Structure 1
Amino acid sequence: MSDGVSETDISYGRLLALKKEHKKDVTVAKAIFKLAGMDPRQDEVKKCATFVKRALDLAEESKKKIYKGRSPQDNYCGIASHLGITFSLTPFPVDLSVHSRPIPSPPLVSPPVIPRKCGGCAARCRTIKNLSAKLGRARKKLVTQGEDLDSENNSQIQRLSSVNRVFSRVNSSLRVKVASLSAENSRLATELRFSENARLESEESLAEQISRVVTLKFGQSYSADTVVTVLELFNLGVADEKIGGVMESVAKLTGCFGAGLVKENGGQEILLFGLAQVADKSAQTAFDIMHNRLDSLSRGVSDCNRGNFTDRFFAAVSCVMSDRAATQQKFNFMIEEYRASVLPTVINGWEEMSDAQQQLLKFHVFYCQLHVIANYTNVVLEALAEHERLVTGREIPDLSPTVLSVVKEVARLFGDRSAGMHACSKEFKVWSVFLLASRVFYHRQSLKQFIDERGSGRSELTKLGELLDLPIVVEHLHILGLLDQLVTGPLWRLAENVAHVTDTGVTVSLLLSWVRECRDTPSALFSGNCSVPSLHSIAAGDEQFLEKLLSVSPTETSLEAVALVMESSLRYFMHLFEDFIPGGKYSGIVDDVVVDRTRCASATNRFIESAFGFVDRLFTHAPNMLVSRRESRLLISENHTMAWLSSKSSEERNAIVLAARASIGTIRAEEKHAKALLAEAILQKSLDKEKGYNAKVALQVKRRNQAVDAISTFGFIISVNSISALLGSSSETERANALVAQIRFRERALQQQPPEKGIFKLSNKGRKLTEEELKRRLVVLIEADQKGTLLTSSIDHPLIGRFVRRWKEEVSEDGRVSSVKKRGETPLVSIQFPSGQLTIPVSTLESSLDEGSFDLLDDLL
């Protein structure tokens, strides 16, 4: 290896030199790739380092053999073939020196001296010469082989060029043939169209001939098409007994077809799982029903894809839409908790995912924006009731200001079929109070004129006319009408038109800014500037209502009412839209992954509300209908089942209908079994509820007796002035016990309503309240009970819970007996009517029942 021939591999000597220079195996591997002129990957470096580690041991043995003269030459380590690469290296000199006896360098100036040759050195020199000769011959041989390969390569190139020319000619020929076939195909397609048209004309002609013949039965059973037609008629609201007549009438109309029976939902697929009877409406029951229904759906999944269908379904659920009821929120939490437990088993590589990646797959909960509008009514009515209390000084129920009675009476007396709280009109949606108020305000003068001309002798019209003249009623109608035009209307359009539920944040920010402005400057409400200008599109015919509202200048009392309403509105909207305002989960820029995974969420749950309405209609019109049939009617109506069934071929449709009819017996048996289980569950829950109620009553009685025993020592005080006498010169502990006894007696024995939140909580973080705080609370309780400074106690009475109808001339009002209490020696009965609470002596109610001015509804049934 010293005659100048390039080395194509790494010799053991060169490998040892690299190891001595670089120390580490990995560094040696990198140096080897550097010698080859390559930039290796990390896995290639590791592979090379592993080989180097094994080769170094062999290199040491080779070195020892060369040193001892056992091996005539250095060998290659074989790393080139191991890595699949080729080196071109300058030959590495073989170090044949013996370190224990170094050969001295010859002197610079000395007479020629013939060196003494030892036998070992001469042998090594001969070996080197022989190796050099061999390498020379090998080099010549390689050069010859290279020339042969070049010659063979040139011949291959010439042969491939010849083949390429042949293929080019064949390709040109094939192109010509393809063009010819394409022209022939076009001709055949034209002929096929003509043939198809002729076939269709023949089929139409044949269908026209047999159109008057319809086979409703095959043997003793109706055909599948007949069953499908009956189901379609059911879905369209045709009663059972009318189906035969309808089919006969339709049969007379040859060539007439209905259209537009199915309304598209914008491409969003919303489906119902079904309907189930349950023992209670708890969140756990709802979750169990949903889990069981998903397990039953897995029967329709092929065996290869079944796996754990329910777990995979929950893992795929990215968000829910619901209202804010406590039961529904607990149900959402149970879904989220179950989903989190199955994600690691359903999603491959869950453990390898980063926290940020797992966070993008979290569960999202959205709330229906229609409920925001519906519940906003109570917020405004409560603020108006507070304003009316401040202005008039009268006691007004929280949610029943006088303006609400006016709106209800106008709807009842003047609306089309509105005696049932205007539920029949399509226009009266969830914010009907606001919408009606704007109409009443617009037509107020016309209503008064009608009452003056036609209302003589009718007390309800006379009373309504008096209420329409009240300034506070006019002012509140004005405010409600403006809220209809500027708040609830835009919010409804936002819920209908928002492209993605997370886009709500922009509109909510505008709304909150506008509400703050109206709170600080109440006159801004009467300017007509909408909170959300981009959505303020007034429906045709409604312009006059807004013009009328803006034409009336506000009074000082109106401005005070607006300030109260907007303060309550601001708190309400900030609470309900907390996820979309700055600092909320969906404020600012939302991650694209979250946006994509929640794209299925709608802004409202109007679909399920419509399903509730459909089920309610079924219960009203057919209360004894089987649950399975009621569920079928619901699914057919809401899931567009008939449209799906019509899209199937005749064979598929027949198979589906026959399979469904064959399962009727099984469905009835399952329903019978489920009904028995439901009865047992209801009975058990009733027993548990009764047991819990009895335990609760026993605890209340025990606490009440304890409160009575505790106060017997001190006596019951009914005035603030008596507190000093109660405390007297007692010790600090006795004074505290006396105050606690008075408060507990009012809470547990008298059941006094708390005038402020937490007033009956007599400790703070485990510490007793101070004497001053206890005295303050007792003063508040005494002052709040000025109407009943006499001892009051609730008593059991058979009238409690009964429904009573009160008659005023020709108008009736239904109420419920809420309680019977003994105030002094007189028992008083409290009846809650829609217009307010009535408290009268029991003797007065009994005499009124005898006279006929009151009726017990249970006795009328």
Structure 2
Amino acid sequence: MDVEPPEKKVKGLSRMNENSDADHQNVLSQFGISSSFDTSGLVFKEIPNSVVLSLIYFQRQMKDIIRTTKSLLGMPTEEVTKDCNKEYHRFRRKVMDIEEESKKEKKRGKDKYLNFLKSLAFDRSFFFSENNGHAVSISPKTPVVKRGHVKGSAKESVLQLRDIEVQTDLPCDIDFTNPALTPFSVQKLHQKCISHCSQISETFRKRINKVGHWQKYHKNRILKSNLSIKLLKKANILNEKTQQILKEKNSQLAAVKNALREKDEVFQSALAKLDNVSNVVELKEGKSFSNRAFEAVIRLKSLGVADEKVGDVMRVVGDLVGVTFDFLPSASTCRNFALSALHLGQSHIKSRLDNFLESNDSLCLASDETTKGTAKLQAFGIHTPDGGFTLLGVQPVAEKSAQTAFNALEHLVGALPVVPSDFFKKFLVKVTSTMCDSARTEKKFNEIVEKARKEAVPEIVNDYDKLSEAEKSNFSQFSQFFCQLHVVANYTDVALNALLGHESLVTGKNKLGEASVFGLIKMVSQLFGQRGSGLHGILQLWEAWCGDHLVNRFTFPAFSGNRFNIVFVLASRVFFHRFHLIEFAKECDCSKVPLQEMRKLLENEMIIDHLQILGLCDQLITGPLWRLAEGCEHILDTCKYSKQLQKWLKDCATIPECFFDGSSPTPSLQVSSPTNSTLLFEALLRRDPTESTSEVASVVCNSSLLYFNRAFVDFLPGGKHCNDQNEIRKSMEAAPATNRNIESVFASSQSKPLPLQDLIGKLEKLIDDQQLSQQLLLVDHEFVGKRIKLKISSKRSRKGFVEDIRINGAKRTIRVQFDDKSDDKTESIEMGFDEFEAKVASGVVVFDS
């Protein structure tokens, strides 16, 4: 409940003294009035308000002001009449009105105040009437109305009301200043009038003040009432929308109930039919097991079930679901099933090879070897020009030698079902290139394959002796390619050795085992990686700290399983989070020694220089090389990139500042993923190069130049692939840029393989899942990855990018991440996709070009 506002005390009016002496003297000088107020010889028809205010300022006595005013109007100043007392009070009230009005006009503005100063204050008509030329008197019972006001108005001043109250019918010739000549009754009446007038004035003042406060109070109550009315209208609109949504949901719920009721009827009907069906399941079709039984046995064997236990497992599963089988496979039957599956796989490979041999396409032979425990395994596969890969098989070998590997390949191809005696030689003739790692054994294996192929060509090719030299040269074309991902992996040691040499030179320590920056990267990966979260317990604290400080956190992957480019990726992320990691270490428990060691390394400027160099290597060298290896249309595209990389490294080695300008050797391969590389790349370029970093960049670029000259020797000008790329491009189009397919065979052998039927089922489910398929399409939406500018007001805007678009239930949402380069903090928000499109259409969201 609102209480009555307190009464406000009114301060007394003060004389106008804001203007300076010079301003008022200036006004009087314009009318020829001197500082001694000598007005002789000066006569004016009218006197403005400005002169009256200046006279008030300099002459404090009202008698002096009236005498000066009458003198300026050309009137006698010594004239004494019967109505002089009334004339004095009338003049005095006029002067006070002018003074009060000036204060009000000054508050209204400069222009209105200047107009007021120019307005008429006094003329001769004020002192004399037009009819008889005598002084104008004011009737005691007639109230004097202020200029600009209406009689009876609530805005009449207290002074005017007071003047009306004290007016009586007393004659004007009574001199109250001389008590001896004034009757006692008149004096007593005069004192009572004065006292009564004062009381009435004070009462009126309090009432006017109280009315003003009540006006403010009621105005406040009216404003609150209007606000409550607006809120009530909004609540009514929201209630109507809620009722509409509730009505729609109720209709949807009714539809769902009807659908469930129909399905329940179908289910009850199916149960009724099952009650009439026997619980015996037949696994045989005639005298042989059915295809479904064959598939079940193969799946159980792939799960590690022994041959003699397959029948028991099937019986247990049957008991679980309440069915029995008419026949169960024995251990020998299960072994025959496995042999049949192996024979089926070999028949499939034989069928694909037959198709390849009949076509005009060339093949690329991929090979790799590994050791699993004490067993040595050799794997072979073939690549086709359409990008397909076929695994020929994995063969155990006694030793890792080139000739042993070649014998294993010959055995695998020769052991295929129903192959002619020259099938292996025909296979070698179709192979025009090889893909492997750069191990010495693999290089020797490629030489043996090339030699065997040369010997087989004259035997397999019809009328080989009748061919021209050019045709024979086409059959003799054979190229060896090595996995380019291994070039990236081997480059890690080159960069770290260069940094180690620089660190030894700076610190003067020659017996360092490894570069300190490499130790820092491994430490951060172990402490903040997912694999070490249970051992160290730091990852959970780091995630909570990043959430509290609104840090856009990048993960630190483990070294295991990421052997190619992991050092450079981790270096860029540690550099990005270097200040966050230092603050985190300061706030955490000092008893955690690894955190304090990490903090000490992160505060070393030389190590930060090394992190920056490795991060830029990720963005400008290894990253583009990785994307080239994974996405190039032809392996001979490496010729162009290697030449550009060689020129760029030479420039950076000569002028190290070029390494920090952010220009990639091949801009088309420099990825601009907004959620990963762009943020890291901007952070790396934001740190200006120093003399120390330029020195490190020069050392690394020189070492890199020597390494890549050796790695890409065949692709650089003068190399065999660069000089003959136009001639051999057609025959080498089956060769990939990496050996990942054949290497992945060994990775999958560590885990249990997924049965073919399960794989087909998962793919069918993926295709049938409408929401997942839509999500896959939204990943490639045109908005994803684009930088935007969100206008907040006419002078403010925020910059960011579209991170992703997701489907949550039946609603599509878009996630926008804003960045603030001043403190390296970011903020993500989600909004409806339709709302985002509306903001784009209205111009609130603008895409950066």
TM-score tier after normalising by the smaller chain length: 0.3 to 0.5
The structure number with the bigger radius of gyration is: 2
Q: What's the TM-score, normalizing by structure 1?
A: 0.43
- Determine which structure has the larger helix proportion and give its number: 1
Q: What's the TM-score, normalizing by structure 2?
A: 0.44
